[in-house]
Amino acid sequence: MALLLFVPFLLLRAPLAGASVPVELTVVVDSKGGGNFTSVQQAIDFIPADNQRWTKIHITAGVYTEKVTLPWSKGKVLIEGEGPQETTIQWGAYADGAMLQDAAGMFWSSNTSDTATFTSEPDDLVFKGITFKVHF
Ligand SMILES: *[C@@H]1O[C@H](CO)[C@@H](O)[C@H](O)[C@H]1NC(C)=O
Ligand SMILES: *[C@@H]1O[C@H](CO)[C@@H](O)[C@H](O)[C@H]1NC(C)=O
């Protein structure tokens, strides 16, 4: 049911996938310690609430096993991996929060509560070059 309700939002938001955004700040996540943070969540936590600057979170190649939560107040975020084969975020035991990929290649949460988060600020989240996996 959540999935069906969610579909119209996917369609409305698809055009953003091809858009570029004016990134003002870039932080690097590197699980090996070569960046600003070692986990994606740490980078998100660094972004201030009511964020006004487009912030790029660049995630170096690797598999990041963590459940990432992006609060609605933290908009203007570009999450960029080094390619769908290179950068993967995975987490398990949260099937109702599984990420879905739409026709434009963007990822969205299937959870209705998370969906509300992602749709409240229409143009403020972009995902590129990254794979989200749910593993059980
Ligand atoms: C991230 O690391 C780079 C390189 O060390 C540094 O120049 C930059 O200021 C850091 N950014 C933040 C937000 O900590
Ligand atoms: C999914 O949403 C429900 C409320 O609708 C919430 O209780 C649950 O914790 C959420 N799951 C995840 C993985 O966020």
Q: What is the CATH number of the domain that holds 111?
A: 2.160.20.10
Q: Has residue 20 been placed in a domain?
A: no
Read off the pLDDT of each residue in 94-113 and give the average, rounded to a whole number: 56
Specify the number of domains making up the chain: 1
Q: Which residue has the higher pLDDT, 18 or 62?
A: 62
6 C-alpha to ligand 1 centroid (Å)? 37
User: Is 15 contained in some domain?
Assistant: no
Tokens of 54: 């487009």
Higher pLDDT among residues 98 and 65, named by residue: 65
The confidence score (pLDDT) of residue 124 equals 74
Q: Is 99:110 a contact under the CB 8 Å cutoff?
A: yes
Q: 31-56 b/e with 16+ CB inside 10 Å = b?
A: beeebebebbbebbeebeeebeebbb
Q: Is the CB of 94 under 6 A from ligand 2?
A: yes
Distance 106 CA to ligand 2 centre (A): 21
pLDDT, residue 100, reads 62
Average pLDDT, the chain: 72
Residue 80, ligand 2, Cβ within 6 A: no
Q: Is 19 part of any domain?
A: no
* CA nearest ligand 1 atom 6, residue: 36
Model confidence band, residue 25 (pLDDT cutoffs 50, 70, 90): very high
Domain around 107: 2-8+25-134
Q: Which atom of ligand 2 sits closest to the CA of residue 97?
A: 13
